[in-house]
A = this chain, B = another copy of it.
Amino acid sequence: MIVEILAIGTELLLGQIVNSNATRIGERLADAGLDHFQQTVVGDNEARIVTAIDAACSRADALILTGGLGPTKDDLTREALAEAADVELIFDSEQADRLRERWTSSGRVMPESNLQQAERPLGSELIANPKGTAPGIRMQIADTWVFALPGVPAEMIPMLEDSVIPFLGGDDDSAVVSRLLRTWGESESAIGERLGDLYDTSTNPTIAFLASGGEIKIRITAKATSRDKAAALIAPFEATIRERLGKRIFGADDDTVEVVVLRMLEERDWTLGTAESATGGLVAGRITSVPGASRVFRGSVVSYSTEVKESLLDVSGDLIAEHGVVSEPVAVAMAEGARERLGADVVVSVTGSAGPEPQERPVGTVVVAVVTPDGSRVRTLNLPGDRERVRTFASTAALQLLRMSLQGVDWGSR
């Protein structure tokens, strides 16, 4: 089973957005053991979409399209599919009812133009879209199964998971299984060197390295005649990597650092708070992204101005005058103040200079403190990059140092 991806949208050609849909779909196809050799992008031009569909159908057994299913006139995927298959577009009155119902239930009147989302090529079936109004379309063009999904990733991904991947069913005779190990605290090249011999000598499983948001992920991928057999190839390989990397590995697969931290706190029956300056609420935002965070998380004081550090976190003006706001004593005082004010057992605090203009200390200087019932720790970091990168890496560092404190792991040389 060979699968291709065709992304539709002039905004992709103009470089206004990145084609992250192709990335997500490619990742998922690999996980499912489906072969995938080519991706194409074309703009909102019906003739070029039709040509691209024809070309892809001549090469592939299945084609996944993204984009062009919206309610406006530059959404041309429905028309292009009908033309490529040489069939009529028909009006699906059941879908029209579902669209009206969806609008009515949110107390609004549906504009008539939305009814184009009730059209589909004759002989096609609609794919349910639980997250939005645009249904997907499944149909055959010549011998190729074609799936059209919306361009909005939050809508596309569940439809891919629920309706496309299960339909394609993967290759019955082979399964590709991947295991993701998440690390923090060492560079990609240092991790690469520790595992270099495995990279060079192993063809099944293979390993790959992926850096994002300050973390290095290691992907182990094995192919075998069943998922169980592929998993059995991975197990000893994973054990070797874990032996070499130790506590640098903090989680596997979907265990983000937020999930890991909340789980450890809940096991101890400890509550959590944050006190944030440079990260401005990002750490709290990441923690509360996890469903059920309310069982552990009390809240945060984002003390962006110095006055709020004093009034809501009880950091003394003398301490600030002596050390500056980007300092280890102030970070500890912020955490201790937040612990008291929020009534939390554990607090992580962040203060720093995110740029573009330096604040007291050079841009990238970030101080993280963690206070738990067992004591407090504080560390000054020098993070590279611009404001966005410094803030992202600082929020990751805060969560990772919190995780290491809870695990009793030395904060080490970082």
Complex Cα distance, B116 from A46, in Å, reads 43
> Is there contact, CB below 8 Å, between B16 and A19?
no
In the assembled complex, how far is the CB of residue A55 from the closest CB belonging to chain B, in whole angstroms?
8
Binds B, one of A20-28, A90-98, A118-126, A232-240: A20-28
Complex Cα distance, B38 from A46, in Å, reads 13
Q: Which residues of B contact A42 (CB under 8 A)?
A: 37-38
Q: Which residues of B contact A199 (CB under 8 A)?
A: 72-74
Q: Is the interface of A mostly helix, strand, loop or mixed?
A: mixed
Q: How many copies altogether?
A: 2
Instruction: Identify A307's interface contact among B19, B27, B276, B343, CB under 8 A.
Output: B343
> Is there contact, CB below 8 Å, between B209 and A113?
no
Assess A52 versus B23: contact at CB under 8 Å? Given A74-B199, A113-B189, A210-B16: no
> Is there contact, CB below 8 Å, between B73 and A200?
yes
**Of A72, A200, A307, most B-chain CB atoms within 10 Å:** A72
Tell me the chain A residues, 48-76 only, with Cβ under 8 Å from chain B.
48, 52, 55, 70-74
In the assembled complex, how far is the CB of residue A26 from the closest CB belonging to chain B, in whole angstroms?
4
Q: Which residues of B contact A37 (CB under 8 A)?
A: 13, 42-43, 45, 48
- Classify chain A's interface size: 35 or more
Instruction: Identify A15's interface contact among B23, B282, B355, CB under 8 A.
Output: B23
Interface residues of A (CB under 8 A from B): 10-20, 22-30, 36-45, 48, 52, 55, 70-74, 106-108, 110-114, 131-132, 152, 154, 178, 180, 187-193, 196, 199-200, 208-212, 219, 221, 271, 274, 276, 279-285, 287-289, 291-294, 297-305, 307-308, 311-312, 341-343, 355-357, 359, 382, 384-389, 391
9 closest A-B pairs by CB: A280-B288, A15-B27, A281-B281, A281-B284, A72-B192, A15-B26, A71-B189, A300-B302, A39-B41
